[in-house]
Amino acid sequence: MKLEPPFLGDERIPLDLAIERASCCVCGPAAASDAAARGYDYEYRTSRRAWIYRRCRECALVYLDPRPAVAELGRIYPPNYYSFDEGKRGNALVAHFRRRLEAGKARAFARLAGPGAKRVLDVGCGDGRFLAVLRDHGPREWTLEGIDIDAAAVARARADGLSVGCSRLEDFAAGAARYDLVVLFQTLEHVSDPRDTCRKIRGLLNPGGLCVIETPDVAGWDERLFRAGLWGGYHIPRHWNLFTPDNLARLLEQQGFEVVERTPLISTSFWINSLYNALLVRGAPGWLLRFFHYQNPALLALFIALDKLRMACGARTSNQRIVARAR
């Protein structure tokens, strides 16, 4: 049975958006694909269009085709988009524990990058939340910079004393200086051309510099349960390319990188959003939908434990980190 969200009858929501066609960014436009999923913008309701994901037969990349045109970015990323002001809102207890975890991540990245002064770029930094973590818990001699597409988020980052520019990576000009570390946290899946993005990052890095990517992995239990269209990892229609560790490594190697580390990561929000989507299309009441918020501490604890169990068994989850070195 095909389940549809109740907001499809709301004529205040645009019926459609301008679209563009897409193909596999790893294997190229000639690669054959099959329909993989169909769904709606359950989270922000930016249109009433049904969106289709396709799976490449050769490399298993899952990609949105057709997808919103670049001209529609301002619509599909509304001012209340979660990452634009994530560092300044949300559950205080959750924020405290998240910052502790990310402080450990900052120290781990410092070990990866090695001693001495380093220049670091955070692509898609939002309001600068992780840059602030690096500033407070990373090496003092690092130079920290970021870019994001949202002017209000950039303004909040600058107000916090961070060096952040308002730009898409595709339009970013770094000048003659190069970086030692470029991070993309939950960003690569949003860009229109991941191949060009990886090439651009390679050009921004010093020889031997590191690129750290965190992005969804189409491998977790939640993806299997909800893959027909309700999986939270689709983040419809903002996630345009969804990778496996193998096809992401292949993409990076094509653009002059050597992959040095591949790690599954905990992915609580996809579990929670998947359940929210499933309840929404079944007409659940508002009070129950509000319970399934991605910062609900009780749900976070449950799904952290579940993903940790998976990782302890050597299994993949719905989130991944890949570290690659510029050759």
Domains and CATH numbers, the chain: 82-326 (3.40.50.150)
Q: 179-185 and 257-265 as β-strands: parallel, antiparallel, unpaired? A: unpaired
Q: Which amino acid is at 194?
A: P
Judged by phi (left if over 0) then psi (alpha if -120 to 50, else beta), residue 314 lies in left
* pLDDT tens digits in sequence order for the chain, 327 residues long: 568 999 999 999 999 999 999 999 999 999 999 999 999 999 999 999 999 999 999 999 999 999 999 999 999 999 889 877 665 556 777 777 777 878 888 898 899 899 999 999 999 999 999 999 999 999 999 999 999 999 999 999 999 999 999 998 888 887 777 999 999 999 999 999 999 999 999 999 999 999 999 999 998 899 999 999 999 999 999 999 999 999 999 999 999 999 999 999 999 999 999 999 999 999 999 999 999 998 899 999 999 999 999 999 999 999 999 999 999
Burial class (CB in 10 A: 0-12, 13-18, 19+), 127: buried
Spatial distance between the Cα atoms of 159 and 311, rounded to a whole number of angstroms: 38
Nearest C-alpha neighbor of 186 from the set 240, 132, 136? 240
Name the residue among 195, 222, 229, 238 with its Cα closest to residue 53.
Answer: 229
Are the CB atoms for 78 and 41 separated by under 8 Å? Answer: no
- Nearest partner of 112 among 27, 207, 212, judged by Cα: 212
